[in-house]
Amino acid sequence: MASFIQQDLEAAGVAPAICVLRGDAAPKGSRELPERVRRHFVSSRESRPFAVAAALRQQDTGTDPEPSEVPAVRYYPNLGIAYGTVTRETAAALRREAAVGTVKGAPPLSLIRPERVERASLGTDTTWGLEALRVPTLWERGLTGAGVVVGHLDTGADGQHAALRDAIGRFAEFDLLGREVDPPPAPHDTAEHGTHTAATIAGRPVRGRHVGVAPEATLASAAVIEGGDIVARVLGGMDWAIGAGIRVLSMSLGFRGFLNDFLPLTQRIRERGVLPVFAVGNEGPGTSRSPGNYPEALSVGAVDESGAIPLFSSSQRFQRGRQPIVPDLVAPGVGVISARPGGGYQAMDGTSMATPHVAGLAALLFEAAPTATPAEVENAIFASCSRSDRMTEDRANRGMPDAVKAHDALMAAG
């Protein structure tokens, strides 16, 4: 049994759990969790969903909901997983079910907040990050991300910003209980983080000036964080994004340290033909965040304009044979200018700013090779990386990618 579940069970008697179904354990096309799995989840006043529902009900009416009013489990059919509340006995019973691959804990995630935020103006036609990655040369080759859908799970995105007005093909918001808001609201940002990251991925040029790596890619953007039952919100966003036909998933969120509870999800995302591009964290050397520190994630750290790794950028070495060092690579993450909710621009520092640069580059490569696998695109990006004389392997791993070399490597491999 996962240690995180064990800790929760010891503390509260119940625990939030993620149940990953085996392959085709659920009928193909079914939106319902098989009853033989559903029966092992329980309704409880001590559960995380009930605590959130009770707080919301108290605000509105001053009364508590009944446990039966709060779902014991939610099913995410595009991922083939369930998330709900278990006891020690039902968790053990779940693990014995033939339909179940694994049962993991559900540690709450948090946003990887920027280290610095300040107003800025865009005084050049392209940002330093776009130039450092040599992205404009791929534009000259006709690659803009057209036809590629990128999943963007964050605080949402301001769809009225000039750089994003035509970029968001689909938008969803998941409420504090993890339910998709219906009907879907207009694209908006519940904070300011998501507008910045969204525009770095796919921002359109405004008066000839660019902040977006893939200026014709389409975003499937969802507001999933922060507050409430964050695990339900993020799982809902992941499932929704997979259903939207994404090729890349960009996330700048996670939980501190190495916890393998989201590892089966990251593996499942890859199985669905999607490249997971995740931030490694802003807690500095010797630290990292999950799921950005998994071998199955393309893990991104930050570099500044001089080619040095900022102190905040997380990095860590693990005792494992594959991908022992995180991040996998670094990308522009200091003084990154991108869109600000309500209009205009602002500069931010963080691995959250580096991650969408790589997600946008992946979109350009998927446009160049539509049948490429996530591994093929990832390997091309890895092959293009180099370290400056201001980078060490422990802090930057492979170094910073080069968009032109990545494209050449992908075409040569094809």
Q: 291-319: per-residue pLDDT in tens?
A: 999 999 999 999 999 999 999 999 999 99
Token pair of 209 as six digits: 């000036």
Chain Cα centroid distance, residue 283 = 18
pLDDT, tens digit, for every residue of 184-220?
Answer: 999 999 999 999 999 999 999 999 999 999 999 999 9
Question: What beta strand segments (E) does 68-115 contain?
Answer: 73-76, 81-86, 100-105, 110-111
Whether 345 shows a pLDDT value over 90: the answer reads: yes
Of the listed ranges 4-8, 339-343, 345-349, the least confidently predicted one is: 4-8
What pLDDT sits at residue 1?
Answer: 44
State CA 67 to chain mean position distance. Answer: 31
Is the predicted pLDDT of residue 401 greater than 60, yes or no? yes
The answer, yes or no, to whether the previous bond of 66 is cis (omega within 30 of 0) is: no
Between 335 and 66, the higher pLDDT residue = 335
Check residue 28 and give its pLDDT: 52
Per cent of the chain over pLDDT 90 is 87
> What pLDDT sits at residue 25?
62
Does 155 have pLDDT greater than 70? Answer: yes
Q: Which residues pair with 298 in a beta bridge?
A: 277
- Indicate the pLDDT class of residue 4, thresholds 50, 70 and 90: confident
The whole-number pLDDT of residue 353 equals 98
pLDDT above 90 (res 31): no
pTM of the model: 0.96
DSSP string, 5-20: HHHHHHHHS-EEEEEE
Q: Residue 29: its pLDDT value, please?
A: 56
Other Cβ atoms less than 10 A from the Cβ of 320: the count is 9
Task: Give pLDDT, residue 347.
Answer: 98
The active-site residue out of 43, 152, 154, 357 is 154
Beta strands in 87-224 (DSSP E): 100-105, 110-111, 116-120, 149-154, 168-173, 218-223
End-to-end CA distance of the chain: 42
Catalytic annotation on 384?
Answer: no
Q: What is the CATH number of domain 110-413?
A: 3.40.50.200
Instruction: Report pLDDT digits (tens) over 320-332.
Output: 999 999 999 999 9
Rounded mean pLDDT, 380-402: 97
**Residue 65, pLDDT score:** 81
Per residue in 242-278, pLDDT tens?
A: 999 999 999 999 999 999 999 999 999 999 999 999 9
Lowest model confidence (mean pLDDT) among 6-15, 57-66, 236-245: 57-66
Task: Quote the pLDDT of residue 26.
Answer: 57
Stronger pLDDT, 47 or 214, i.e. the higher one: 214
The percent of residues in the chain predicted with pLDDT above 70, rounded, is 98
Q: Where in the chain is the domain with CATH 3.40.50.200?
A: 110-413
Q: Would you say the C-alpha torsion 339, 283, 254, 400 has a positive or negative sign?
A: positive
Which pLDDT score is estimated for 269? 96
Residue 373 has pLDDT above 50, yes or no: yes
Q: Which of 47, 221, 352, 384 is catalytic?
A: 352
pLDDT of residue 70: 87
- Evaluate if residue 179 carries a pLDDT over 60: yes
Residue range 166-194: mean pLDDT, rounded: 96
Residue 193 known to be catalytic: yes
Grade residue 2 by pLDDT with cuts at 50, 70 and 90: low
Beta strands in 121-226, from DSSP E residues, in sequence order: 149-154, 168-173, 218-223
Instruction: Identify the CA nearest to 302 among candidates 195, 200, 399, 383.
Output: 399
Q: Reduced to 3 DSSP states, what percent helix, strand and coil does the chain have, rounded to the nearest 5?
A: 30, 25, 45
From 152, 161, 188, 193, active-site residue: 193
Where residue 165 falls among pLDDT bands split at 50, 70, 90? very high
pLDDT, one tens digit per residue, over 72-122 is: 999 999 999 999 999 999 999 999 999 999 999 999 899 999 999 999 999
Please report where in the chains the tokens 């999943």 appear, as a residue.
151
Residue 162 pLDDT: 97
Residue 60 designated active-site: no
